Structure formats: structure tokens, C-alpha cells
């Protein structure tokens, strides 16, 4: 997502240790929609935005992978803006981004790390490498990766 430049200076000063202690909680519907979007996008990487408050994902917004690639994703700026405005109208915000890895582990690639636009966001990767999808969440701050547990509720 090189066209997106968002910073949260207050989070860049926090340690990843404190950030990784928090779990990211999804509603069951938002989680199911995200997993479904990963399958819908296959064999290309799928992507979307996580809308919520704090550490709670209230809504998943499926986005177009403008890169149309099985190796990278790009969310169009217009879709990001629409999602941001809709979230604000609901008293929510974009708290993270999701993308799928079609044939690799659910761990951030060097490209994922380099393109992580906001240290305050959660980065969720769903791998379709195995029979069942595997979702993992991370915080990425100054190139350092910390895993964050995912919960449903």
C-alpha cells in the first residue's frame, strides 16, 4: 500500500512488547467475512480493511487488490478513503488491514513490513497454504514484527 501514508507518533514510541500483549478481537461475522474474502480472491492475494475501535474489529471491508497479484496487494486509495469516511460516520476507525498469502505462511514478508503504513494498525494475514485457513495478526513498528493473538467474540 505505498500510496497510503499514515502515522501515529504516539505509538512509534511504544515498545512492541506492550503492543503485542493486546489481542485483536473480531466479531464472528467480521472474521467469517475476512476468511471468505481470502477464498474469493484466490489464486490472487485478497485484501481488506478492519474497522473498529481500539482492539475490537466490528466490521470487515473487502477491497480490490489493485496489484492483481498472487504475491503483493495494493488497496486503492479511493476504497481506503470511502472506508475511512464510513467508519468515522459510525464513530469507528480503520484499525488494521488484512491480506492473504496464497501459498506461504501467515507471516509478514519483507514487502509487507516495508509497506506497513501505520504502526498503530493491526496486520492480519490469512494463509491458504494448508487445508484449513490460518489467520495470524501482527503489529509492525519500525520494521520490527510482534505477533498479536486473535480472539472471536
On whether the CB atoms of residues 51 and 93 are closer than 8 A, the answer is yes
Q: Collapsing DSSP states into helix, strand and coil, what is residue 69? A: coil
Domains and CATH numbers, the chain: 9-152 (3.40.140.10)
Looking at residue 153, what is its pLDDT? 87
Helix or strand holding residue 139 (H, E):
strand 134-141
Cβ neighbours, 10 Å, residue 50: 27
How many residues in the chain?
Answer: 153
Closest listed residue to residue 44, CA positions, set 16, 81, 72, 74: 72
Mean pLDDT (whole number) for 2-25: 51
The contacts of residue 139 (CB under 8 Å, 6+ apart) are 16, 19, 20, 119, 121, 122, 123, 145, 146, 148
The Cα 67–Cα 71 span in angstroms is 9
Q: Which residues pair with 98 in a beta bridge?
A: 48, 124
Could you read off the pLDDT of 65-103 as tens digits, one per residue? 999 999 999 999 999 999 999 999 999 999 999 999 999
Looking at residue 72, what is its pLDDT? 94
Could you read off the pLDDT of 25-58 as tens digits, one per residue? 999 999 999 999 999 999 999 999 999 999 999 9
Looking at residue 144, what is its pLDDT? 94
Could you read off the pLDDT of 107-147 as tens digits, one per residue? 999 999 999 989 999 999 999 999 999 999 999 999 999 99
Amino acid at each position: 500500500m505505498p500510496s497510503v501514508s499514515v502515522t501515529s507518533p504516539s505509538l512509534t514510541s511504544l515498545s512492541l512488547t506492550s503492543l503485542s500483549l493486546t489481542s485483536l478481537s473480531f466479531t464472528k461475522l467480521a472474521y467469517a467475512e475476512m476468511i471468505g474474502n481470502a477464498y474469493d480472491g484466490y489464486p490472487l492475494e485478497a485484501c481488506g480493511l478492519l474497522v473498529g475501535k481500539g482492539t475490537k474489529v466490528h466490521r470487515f471491508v473487502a477491497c480490490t487488490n489493485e496489484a492483481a497479484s498472487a504475491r503483493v496487494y495494493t488497496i486503492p486509495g479511493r476504497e481506503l478513503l470511502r472506508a475511512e469516511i464510513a467508519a468515522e460516520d459510525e464513530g469507528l476507525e480503520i484499525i488494521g488491514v488484512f491480506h492473504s498469502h496464497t501459498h506461504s505462511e501467515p507471516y509478514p514478508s519483507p514487502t509487507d513490513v516495508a509497506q506497513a503504513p501505520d504502526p498503530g494498525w493491526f496486520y492480519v494475514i490469512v494463509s491458504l497454504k494448508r487445508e484449513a485457513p490460518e489467520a495470524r495478526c501482527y503489529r509492525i513498528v519500525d520494521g520490527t514484527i510482534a505477533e498479536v493473538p486473535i480472539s472471536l467474540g
